[in-house]
Amino acid sequence: MDKLYSYHQSKVELTKQIMLRKNMIKVPNNIAKNLIDTYQLCRVMDDYLDDYFKISLSSPFLLNISEEIDNIMAKFKKEVLEGLRQEKEQFRKISKTTKQRFKNIFQFSGSENLYLSNIYTRFISENLGHKFEDIANLSNQVYIPNQEIGIKLKGVDLIIHDRGIIKYTQLKTKKDTLTGSQKDRSIEELKIHPYSIFAAALDMGSSWTISAKSVKNYNIELMAGKSFWSLINLDYDLMLSKVAKTINELDKELYS
């Protein structure tokens, strides 16, 4: 059978070949039913990714990382301001309606700033999480299947090449992002891979929701902040300063 990388130039054909070959993958008995599809897809992609990274890492790296992060942050700011403008308009529209069910006392009382504050932080945090993936994808050591070929892998946000090893990675915003039940699910999703990483983009939060002890038998690494970004050869401090600058700009525009 020909190598998957021979279809690299056609994303449609590459995706088709991956889907055709996944059913040939034998699934171990300990793989949860809801993860079988992802397990098969990943084991098909292992060989392709090996070839992909060999070529990617041997090619000249031409991106200006600082400028690219600026572009991502400009897009982030634009999306946030537009999304929150719509939220504000929706609040004002609902406030004028008497026949509707109120979400909370802030909405009922017409307290716009208090009602929108929680929405603002949640909306910004969710959008920022996606932008961390975009920033990570600037590295030639990172591959995001959903962006590259439209394949979603359960529990995998990005794939990292680390000194010849393919590592399937979940990327959260900070160390304590997960709840207790989400923690167990993340471990189940990551332990199906030979090597994997549970990463926090920011070295923030009280402590890891996932403990090192709970993952040590599954080759799951815990990485936060600088240790994660340095793994993919990106400058954590540069990224952090640009994100903080954009958050400050949003704060001024939203509350001035």
Mean residue pLDDT of the chain comes to: 92
Report the alpha-carbon distance of residue 174 to residue 197 in Å, rounded.
14
Over residues 3-26, the pLDDT tens digits come to: 999 999 999 999 999 999 999 999
At 100 the three-state DSSP class reads coil
- Give the H/E segment covering residue 160: strand 158-162
Place of tokens 């990675």: 169
Tokens of 254: 């939203």
pLDDT exceeds cutoff 70 at 179: no
Do the Cβ atoms of 136 and 122 come closer than 8 Å? no
Q: What is the pLDDT of residues 32-69, one digit of tens each?
A: 999 999 999 999 999 999 999 999 999 888 899 999 99
Per DSSP, which regions of the chain are E strands? 142-143, 158-162, 165-172, 196-200, 220-224
pLDDT at 177 (0 to 100)? 81
Torsion of CA 207, 165, 239, 73, to 10 degrees: -110
**For 90-148, how does the pLDDT look when each residue is reduced to its tens digit (9 = 90+)?**
877 776 665 667 788 888 888 888 888 888 999 999 999 999 999 999 999 999 999 99
- If 0-12 CB within 10 Å is exposed, 13-18 middle and 19+ buried, where does residue 115 land? buried
Among 14-28, 82-96, 218-232, which stretch is predicted with the lowest mean pLDDT?
82-96
Q: What is the largest CA-CA distance in the chain?
A: 67
